[in-house]
Chains A and B, each alone.
Chain A
Amino acid sequence: MLKPIPHLLKALTVCFITIGLVACNSDSEEVIIEEDSIVVDDSSSDSDTTTETIVEVDPFNFESGALVSSITTETCTLSNGDEASCYRIDIAGAPSNYEISSFCPKNITSTADEAGIWFDGSGEVYDITGDFILSLPTLYNDSNWKLYDESTGLVNITDTEESCEGAARPDVEEQYQNHCVECSIDYVNGGISASFLIPITPIAAAQTINVGRVNIGLALNGVELAAPAPVDAILSAYTIAAFDDCAGHINLNEGYHYHGEAGCSQTQIQSDGHSAMMGYALDGYGIFGMLDDTNTEPTDLDSCRGHTDETRGYHYHAASVSENMFIGCFRGEIALTEDETGPR
């Protein structure tokens, strides 16, 4: 006898929600909640129907070992002042899917396999071979470059924690000029965990938001996606802040972090030939590799380097490593941290 009542209540509830949704969005939008995504129909007329898929942040996209604690949900304040539900994601600060490899070459005969990568000064990245070290005065058109000991051929490397601290920062200490800068992950106890607050459901911003001085998001393997490396400051001190082959390097403040997308965090392979997913931006939109399975880059990217498709909704495509950046701006609202009073 009691069973019909819950069914009736359910039916009434569904009716009220449906009516409410339609009423709230009567001017232009219809929201359909699906299993893993929300489809927003922002059609303004019957003849011109456009549907945009909005894909929520999926905690299962993160690699095993990428996080130091379970993802939790909390209320957050977005850059437009609205409150929203956000995920609190604490990354390990070290890649969960590979061992960090070498950065600087040991001597002027080192090969590409023995060291990482760096910029050549004209918009390209190169393996830091011994030849690269020898060619620095030519590459940077400055005869003061000399990163090695002429008598031994050994490269000057910041091989202690003290030298790492003095050199792996924008204001390089004078004694570490003409050094290849590298730091061991051991100096930061295997990685510095970082906490990210990201809207669960990305919300398109009225205006794009500029990339700030800190990070732009997180990789699926637990590594921070940093803002562009301060290359000019690094080079002006006659140092190179060598990346490993994954475009990551270490300092004592941020630990291991990426300055470019070299393919090492593209862990979510797409079945349709689209480039693999490698991380999330701070606004909750996914970041994918630059090229698809046919080595083709999209031609319809917006100013933030994003576009929309039916499967992934709006998403970004990271730039190449040589561009020292991932995305151009945030298309969505980002969560404000406790000490922030406005947009980044």
Chain B
Amino acid sequence: MKKINFIKSLLAGIFISTSFFALSHAGHGSNAPWEACADKKLNDDCTYSIHHQKATGTCQAMNEVLMCVRNQPLENIIEKATQKPGENKSESILLIKQ
């Protein structure tokens, strides 16, 4: 019985903490803009990627929580088709302005 209560308490704690997180910012359809500013300060530069596109902007307070506000056009991220085996993937990302 005690074990069940402990699990209930644990689940309740997780629920409350995740609910608080859910209500602590407005949401974007994606958490990426918030995650991009999780460890940053107001007006810091930030980037995030969605749907193979890279967004670049600065961290701004939206509903008192920092989110990455894009101020540059989205960039399409297209991997080079000619990438060689073993080649550093991050270095082979070709950025094309929309």
- Interaction A to B: yes
| B29 in complex: contacting residue of A231, A299, A302, CB < 8 Å | A231
| A124 in complex: contacting residue of B29, B33, B62, CB < 8 Å | B29
A80 to B57, CA, bound (A): 26
Contacts A212-B63, A228-B63, A303-B60 hold; do A119 and B69 have CB atoms under 8 A apart?
no
A229 to B63, CA, bound (A): 10
Query: Which of B25, B51, B69, B71 lies at the interface centre, i.e. has the most chain A CB atoms within 10 A of its CB?
Result: B71
* Interface presence of B4 (CB below 8 A): no
* Interface presence of B88 (CB below 8 A): no
A230 to B62, CA, bound (A): 11
Interface string of B27-49 (1 = CB under 8 A from A): 11111110000000001000000
Interface string of A298-317 (1 = CB under 8 A from B): 01011111000000000000
Interface string of A21-57 (1 = CB under 8 A from B): 0000000000000000000000000000000000000
* Interface presence of A271 (CB below 8 A): no
List the count of A-B residue pairs having beta carbons below 8 Å apart: 107
* Interface presence of B19 (CB below 8 A): yes
Contact A227–B57 (Cβ < 8 Å): no
Contact A228–B71 (Cβ < 8 Å): no
Interface residues of A (CB under 8 A from B): 119-125, 170, 210-213, 227-236, 296-297, 299, 301-305, 319, 322-325, 328-329
Interface residues of B (CB under 8 A from A): 18-19, 21-23, 25-33, 43, 50-51, 57-58, 60-64, 69-73, 98
Of the A-B pairs whose beta carbons lie under 8 Å apart in the complex, a sample of 10, sorted by A's number, is A119-B30, A211-B62, A228-B26, A228-B62, A230-B26, A232-B21, A232-B23, A233-B27, A301-B71, A325-B28
